[in-house]
Structure 1
Amino acid sequence: MGFVITNHLCDLMPGTTQADASIVVAPLSHGAGIHQLVNTARSVKTIMPRSAGFNGDEIWSLIERWSVTNVFTVPTIVNLLIDDEAVDTYDRSSLRYIIYAGAPMYREDQKRALKKLGPVLVQYFGLGEVTGNITVLPPSLHAAEDGPDVKVGTCGFERTAMQVSIQNEKGGMVKSGETGEIAVCGPAVFAGYYNNDEANAKAFRNGWFLTGDLGHLDDEGFLFITGRASDMYISGGSNVYPREIEEKILQHPAVDEVAIVGVPDPKWGEVGIAVCTANTAIDADALLAWMDGKVSRYKMPKTVQFWPELPKSAYGKITKKLIKAQLVEQGVIPSAQKDTAS
């Protein structure tokens, strides 16, 4: 934990001192709890909102009152904060670091946040098993506009003293740009799952911890996450990674959120279903027509559904397991698939 705290201070919020202030806007049972230990190590004051749930006006008013400098949160809560009208009511000039993790942040959401808040976003990729320490994308590498030098979709480079590799199914290192499983080693990696030899045998290989996430490294060592291995589906013999398609769909101005899941199909083996929330009326045919030409034909979702909201975990992450469960209830997925949904 001493290493983790030092690592967070080096990579996520350098220059933090007792003059800083932090506000809690995410459950302390997860990464936010680690973040508060980091603040405590530097005698940073922590502000706890009174509201039991999200209250944008309260959060922004406390940021002004206490001159809050750092926040740990997840992309869903970042979106709620910038969409709340109170964001323009209170002074937020003290903010230096809004650190987000726990789920990928879609590019369109990044742009909105940067245009509203300025260069304060810090992304990190990590898991509980490595106490949040894998990669970092600092404020200087977040860009509000796309350009030839902007690495769209990256979650950053290796954290201090941590190592990342992309491996094939046999444990071999794949070439730059090739997709494989993301593996990590270093001082933040846990010793193993308690009293669970079977889980440890699956999680560790040749000294590397296997994250279960898929991705690739570019020539400069920046990591790009394709998605969870369990999210990938095979359509017509080709691997389909939903995140790439979700990024495209979110570029449509009517779409607020989207999750794509693979479901059985008698012809193609599996096909994708896109489940969206929308801010204005749009039908499935119109969205699919708009998508035509933006992704390869085999990657196109077969159908689109619009729901009032997408199910989320207590930590604010869209939960595809619950989406699949609802599709089972609708009869879209055979009930036998329910137990294997992930």
Structure 2
Amino acid sequence: MQSLTTPTPQAPCPDPFNMAAYVLNGSGAPDDKIALAVLALSGAERWSYGKLRAAALGTGTGLLNAGLQPGDRVMLRLGNTVDFPLAFLGAIAAGLIPLPTSSQLTAPEAGKLAQIIQPAAILQSPDVPAPEGDWRSIPQADLRGMRDLEPVTPEMGDPNRMAYIIFTSGTSGTPRAVCHAHRVVWARRMMWAGWYDLQPTDRLLHAGAFNWSFTLGTGMMDPWACGATALIPADGTDPKALPLLLKRHDATLLAAAPGVYRKFLKDHPSLSLPKLRHGLCAGEKLPEALRTAWAEATGTGLYEAYGQTEISTFISGSPARPSATGTLGAPQDGRLVAIVDENGQPVPRGTAGTIAIDHRDPGLMLGYLDAPEATAEKRRGDWFLTGDQGIMDENGFITYQGRDDDLMNAGGFRVSPLEVEATLSHIEGIHEVAVTDVEIKPDVRVIAAFYTADADLDEAALTAYAEANLARYKQPRLWVHLTDLPRNPNGKLRRKELKLP
């Protein structure tokens, strides 16, 4: 049997379509139902569906009144506040193309992204570093003043037209701008049964920040499209308070990266969460021991999912079909997935190959911005190649076998070592530098920088330089001085041979 799925046909995305209009409709939820609660220990800021829709569509009107035109690109430099989803959805409703960015990016990093997409405006929080360069800025205070404007009429159109752009690390060290169509949010419906078991009655707490793509999709857009309630911790919330917030606000689902679950269990060996149905996990590989520990502590399951910036989550476990031990899960129904060889041909089940998905999948990107060659490199015939290796068993479950490139995983963020190395190479006294992620204890990996220099360099100074020039999740946590970097006879760096002393 080949490593190939036989998906059930799914309803096509409606045409005409607007992603924001679809999400804000809340699957017909009453206007007074709570769509979003921003949680703090002192209380919660609550947004009904009617209030959320009006504020987002009012923001869309305000952006057009500010002189922006449909098709213009806008870069979001906003913090962990409700301003982020309101601006994101308001822009899409108005026909603009938003670019979400992490607030952790430094001014130089954000400036590099702006140079690539050439935004017509930057939606700017005073607490987030503004991108280097001469860009038009729309302050957060102005955005908040737009919420009460007359709602914009959502721009309806071809579901295959561009809706937003999001960056991913490229193996070349240059971040790639991934262009997504409006239809991508419709494709996410396959996750509702294939991963979440999401119901309109659910209250889903996502432990991540508003401006993380995992939070934006799983934590907000999916619950809203389903008519459920999204729960997001307020900016600055101590992670140790999350179990209390889960219980106090009757969360039925929890979504987080594996590291969050690990911290939960470290601080709380047993957890009393009577309303919690199960947990959802993505961003990095879930260790089987962590899944078991969570079940023992809470009496609930923990369901993993796999996806990429270029393709919405498409492999997962679920309450109806739990993952086989040690696997990522199985392709969601509706997904045409294969494990292929170097020629793009499906391999026999039980054989390792590249995880691939049909190029017509509605959750797949349109392509990389202004990079047709890079987009073409990801294709083999009718398949989009993820670059990740896997094995499909006789029951369709896929075991992860690692990547075929050197991308690192830092707390759920994929990071190119070349990008980090290019920044660190400017440190005075360093001759050569190479970075990789290393395991410091079971299932815990951090970024380490290996450098050559005349002598050991001051670690505090190295760390300070990284903090000033790299987002936190890209910063090395370990610094190792070497006499030489490991290389092959042709002089190519052997990154996999970089190991801690």
Q: Please tell me the TM-score bracket, short chain as reference.
A: 0.5 to 0.7
Give the SS at the match of 1:3.
Answer: helix
Of the candidates 217, 221, 224, which is equivalent to residue 34 of structure 1? 217
* Cα pair 1:22 1:47 within 8 Å, conserved: yes
Matching residue's letter, 2:348: K
2:373 matched to which residue of 1? 198
The aligned runs of 1:90-169 (5 Å cut-off) are 91-132=272-313, 134-139=314-319, 142=322, 151-169=324-342
CA distance 1:142–1:73, change in 2 (3 Å): same
Separation in 1, partners of 2:437, 2:223: 42
Separation in 2, partners of 1:48, 1:15: 17
Of the candidates 384, 393, 404, which is equivalent to residue 229 of structure 1? 404
The aligned runs of 1:76-91 (5 Å cut-off) are 76-85=259-268, 88=271, 91=272
CA distance 1:140–1:44, change in 2 (3 Å): closer
CA distance 1:207–1:124, change in 2 (3 Å): same
- 1:22 maps to 2:204: yes
- 1:277 maps to 2:438: no
Aligned-residue offset at 1:152: 2.2
* Cα pair 2:204 2:230 within 8 Å, conserved: yes
Separation in 2, partners of 1:212, 1:53: 36
Matching residue's letter, 2:266: D
Of structures 1 and 2, the one scoring higher in RCO (CA 8 A, sep 6+) is: 2
* Cα pair 1:99 1:121 within 8 Å, conserved: yes
CA distance 1:6–1:273, change in 2 (3 Å): closer
Of the candidates 378, 385, 388, which is equivalent to residue 210 of structure 1? 385
Aligned-residue offset at 1:30: 1.8
Q: Percent identity?
A: 20
CA distance 1:221–1:24, change in 2 (3 Å): closer
1:64 matched to which residue of 2? 247
Aligned-residue offset at 1:231: 5.3
Aligned-residue offset at 1:222: 1.0
1:75 matched to which residue of 2? 258
Matching residue's letter, 1:81: F
For this pair of structures, how many residues does the alignment match? Answer: 256
* Cα pair 2:198 2:223 within 8 Å, conserved: no
Q: Which runs of 5+ in 2 are unaligned?
A: 1-183, 408-435, 443-465
CA distance 1:15–1:340, change in 2 (3 Å): closer
CA distance 1:274–1:73, change in 2 (3 Å): closer
CA distance 1:332–1:161, change in 2 (3 Å): farther
2:234 matched to which residue of 1? 50
1:178 matched to which residue of 2? 351
* Cα pair 1:119 1:142 within 8 Å, conserved: no
* Cα pair 2:188 2:363 within 8 Å, conserved: no
* Cα pair 1:161 1:187 within 8 Å, conserved: no
Aligned-residue offset at 1:24: 2.7
* Cα pair 1:203 1:210 within 8 Å, conserved: yes
Q: Which runs of 5+ in 1 are unaligned?
A: 144-150, 233-271, 279-310
1:4 matched to which residue of 2? 187
Aligned-residue offset at 1:339: 11
Give the SS at the match of 1:116.
Answer: helix
1:120-147 CA distances to partner (integer Å, 9 max, x unpaired)?
2111111111122x2111236558xxxx
Give the SS at the match of 1:12.
Answer: helix
1:227-278 CA distances to partner (integer Å, 9 max, x unpaired)?
111259xxxxxxxxxxxxxxxxxxxxxxxxxxxxxxxxxxxxxxx9964238
The aligned runs of 1:243-262 (5 Å cut-off) are none
* Cα pair 2:390 2:398 within 8 Å, conserved: yes
Give the SS at the match of 1:131.
Answer: strand
1:333 matched to which residue of 2? 485
TM-score, structure 2 as length reference: 0.46
Separation in 1, partners of 2:471, 2:350: 34
Separation in 2, partners of 1:53, 1:230: 36
1:148-191 CA distances to partner (integer Å, 9 max, x unpaired)?
xxx32111111121111111112222111111111112221112
Separation in 1, partners of 2:189, 2:439: 41
Aligned-residue offset at 1:4: 2.7
- 1:187 maps to 2:339: no
* Cα pair 2:279 2:300 within 8 Å, conserved: no
* Cα pair 1:60 1:87 within 8 Å, conserved: no
CA distance 1:331–1:67, change in 2 (3 Å): farther
Give the SS at the match of 2:187.
Answer: helix
1:69-89 CA distances to partner (integer Å, 9 max, x unpaired)?
11221111111122223854x
Instruction: State the structure with more CA Rg.
Output: 2
Matching residue's letter, 1:103: E
Separation in 2, partners of 1:167, 1:138: 25
Give the SS at the match of 2:221.
Answer: helix
* Cα pair 2:317 2:328 within 8 Å, conserved: yes
Matching residue's letter, 1:13: Y
* Cα pair 1:5 1:41 within 8 Å, conserved: no
* Cα pair 1:192 1:200 within 8 Å, conserved: yes
Separation in 1, partners of 2:342, 2:229: 46
* Cα pair 1:23 1:70 within 8 Å, conserved: yes
Separation in 2, partners of 1:195, 1:109: 41
TM-score, structure 1 as length reference: 0.65
Give the SS at the match of 1:160.
Answer: coil
Matching residue's letter, 2:343: K
